[in-house]
C-alpha cells in the first residue's frame, strides 16, 4: 500500500472538517477529529483482540473465490474523500427489508386483526408511495402514519443488523491512507445511532451525516451542496459508494466524480444492475492486493 503523497496531505489539510457529527454534536456516537493514521486501540488493528471485541455483530460469511478474482476498481491516488452510504452499503440491507416488508406488516396485522397478506396490501403501497422522499426514511412519520412505534420494531429485530463483508478492513484501509471518510445516510437519527452502537463502526468516520439534518434526501442534488457547506470536500476528488442508483445519479449531477454501486445490498435478495454505474461485489475488490 502506498503512503499518501505530500501533495495529497496538503490537499487534505485544506479539507479539515469543522465538526464530526453534523447536527449531533452532543450525540452518544463517539467523536473524533480528522487525523490520518490508525484508529484508537479499541478500533485499530493493534491490539487485534480489542478491535474484534468492539464489533459485536456478525460479519457476513464470504462465498466464492473472492481473493483470486478481485480487482482494484479505484485509483486511490485520485481520491481525498470517501462518502459511504450505510444501509445496503456498509450494512446488510436484509435488516431493513425484513423490518419493513415482513415485521411491520405482521405487527400491523396483529393490531388491526388482519391476516398477514391483507396487512401487506394495506401497508406496502402507502410506504412505496413515499419512496425517495425524506418521509420514506422517517421513523416519526411512519410511527404517526401507521400508529406503530417503528423504533420499537427496529429493536425487536436488531439481531439482524450485520456488516457487509470486509467493511472493517476497508474502513481501516481508508484510515491508514489518510483519506477523509464521511458516512452519508438517509437513515433517521435514531436508527443511525442504534446501528452504529450495534456495529461499533462509528469511530471510523470523520463526519456522520443524516439527510434529516439537512431536510433533503440524498436523492436530491441539493443534498450534496448542503453537505459541501457542512463538510468541505472536493467533488472531483471524492468517491461515493451507495446502493441506491437515484442517489448516485443526484451525486453525479452535482459533480461528484467517482461513483460506485453495490451489486447485492441485501444478502438474501437478488443481485442488482445499476445501469451505467460500476458496481462492487465486496469491499475486498477495492483493497490493493496484500
Q: Which residues here bind Mg ion, judged by CB under 5 A?
A: 85, 87-88, 243
**CB distance 136 to 130 below 8 Å:** yes
Q: How far is the CB of 149 from Mg ion (least distance, A)?
A: 23
- The Cα–Cα gap between 157 and 26 comes to 27
| Cβ-based nearer residue to Mg ion, 39 or 196 | 196
Q: How far is the CB of 190 from Mg ion (least distance, A)?
A: 17
Contacts of 75 (CB under 8 A, 6+ apart): none
For residue 191, give the C-alpha cell. Answer: 436508527
For residue 42, give the C-alpha cell. Answer: 479499541
Q: How far is the CB of 229 from Mg ion (least distance, A)?
A: 23
Q: How far is the CB of 97 from Mg ion (least distance, A)?
A: 11
Closest chain position to Mg ion (CB): 88
Alpha helices in 84-133 (DSSP H): 94-98, 104-112, 116-128
Q: Return the exposure string of 278-288: e unless at least 16 CB atoms fall within 10 Å of the residue's CB, then b.
A: ebbbbbbbbbe
| Cβ-based nearer residue to Mg ion, 93 or 153 | 93
Q: How far is the CB of 188 from Mg ion (least distance, A)?
A: 13
| Cβ-based nearer residue to Mg ion, 80 or 87 | 87
For residue 10, give the C-alpha cell. Answer: 496538503
Q: How far is the CB of 264 from Mg ion (least distance, A)?
A: 13
| Cβ-based nearer residue to Mg ion, 154 or 243 | 243
**CB distance 164 to 92 below 8 Å:** yes
**Alpha-carbon separation of residue 263 from 92, 253, 288 (angstroms):** 12, 21, 20
Amino acid at each position: 500500500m502506498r503512503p499518501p503523497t505530500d501533495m495529497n496531505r496538503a490537499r487534505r489539510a485544506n479539507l479539515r472538517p469543522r465538526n464530526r457529527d453534523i447536527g449531533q454534536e452532543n450525540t452518544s456516537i463517539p467523536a473524533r477529529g480528522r487525523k490520518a493514521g490508525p484508529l484508537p486501540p479499541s478500533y485499530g488493528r493493534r491490539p487485534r483482540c480489542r478491535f474484534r471485541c468492539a464489533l459485536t455483530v456478525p460479519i457476513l460469511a464470504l462465498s466464492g473465490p473472492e481473493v483470486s478474482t478481485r480487482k482494484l476498481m479505484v485509483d486511490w491516488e485520485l481520491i481525498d474523500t470517501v462518502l459511504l452510504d450505510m444501509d445496503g452499503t456498509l450494512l446488510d440491507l436484509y435488516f431493513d427489508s425484513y423490518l419493513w416488508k415482513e415485521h411491520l406488516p405482521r405487527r400491523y396485522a396483529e393490531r388491526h386483526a388482519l391476516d398477514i397478506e391483507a396487512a401487506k396490501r394495506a401497508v406496502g403501497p402507502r410506504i412505496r408511495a413515499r419512496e425517495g422522499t425524506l418521509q420514506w426514511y422517517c421513523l416519526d412519520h411512519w410511527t404517526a402514519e401507521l400508529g406503530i412505534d417503528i423504533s420499537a420494531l427496529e429493536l425487536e429485530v436488531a439481531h439482524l443488523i450485520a456488516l457487509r463483508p470486509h467493511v472493517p478492513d476497508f474502513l481501516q484501509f481508508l484510515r491508514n491512507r489518510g483519506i477523509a471518510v464521511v458516512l452519508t445516510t438517509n437513515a433517521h437519527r435514531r436508527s443511525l445511532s442504534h446501528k452504529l452502537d450495534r456495529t461499533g463502526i462509528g469511530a471510523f468516520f470523520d463526519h456522520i451525516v443524516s439527510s434529516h439534518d439537512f431536510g433533503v434526501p440524498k436523492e436530491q442534488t441539493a443534498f450534496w451542496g448542503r453537505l459541501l457547506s457542512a463538510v468541505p470536500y472536493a467533488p472531483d476528488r471524492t468517491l461515493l459508494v451507495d446502493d441506491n442508483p437515484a442517489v448516485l445519479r443526484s451525486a453525479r449531477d452535482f459533480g461528484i466524480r467517482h461513483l460506485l454501486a453495490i451489486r447485492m445490498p441485501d444478502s438474501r435478495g437478488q443481485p442488482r444492475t445499476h445501469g451505467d454505474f460500476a458496481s462492487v461485489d465486496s469491499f475486498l475488490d477495492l483493497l490493493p492486493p496484500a
